[in-house]
Amino acid sequence: MSLRQQRGNSNPAATLAALVSKRSRFQDELRNIENQVYELETSYLQDIGQFGNAFKGFEGFLSSGKNTSNFKRPRKLQPEDRIFSLSSVTSPAI
- For 15, counting Cβ atoms within 10 Å of its Cβ (0-12 exposed, 13-18 middle, 19+ buried), the class is middle
pLDDT of residue 35: 92
Enumerate the H helices of 12-93 as residue ranges. Answer: 12-48, 59-63
SS3 1: coil
Distance of CA 8 to the CA centre of its chain: 38
Measured CA to CA, the distance from residue 64 to residue 53 in angstroms comes to 14
Closest by Cα among 72, 32, 74, 78 to 55: 78
Confidence of residue 17 (pLDDT cuts 50, 70, 90): very high
pLDDT digits (tens, 9 = 90+) for 67-93: 555 555 566 778 888 888 888 888 877
pLDDT digits (tens, 9 = 90+) for 26-81: 999 999 999 999 999 888 888 776 666 777 776 666 665 555 555 555 667 788 88
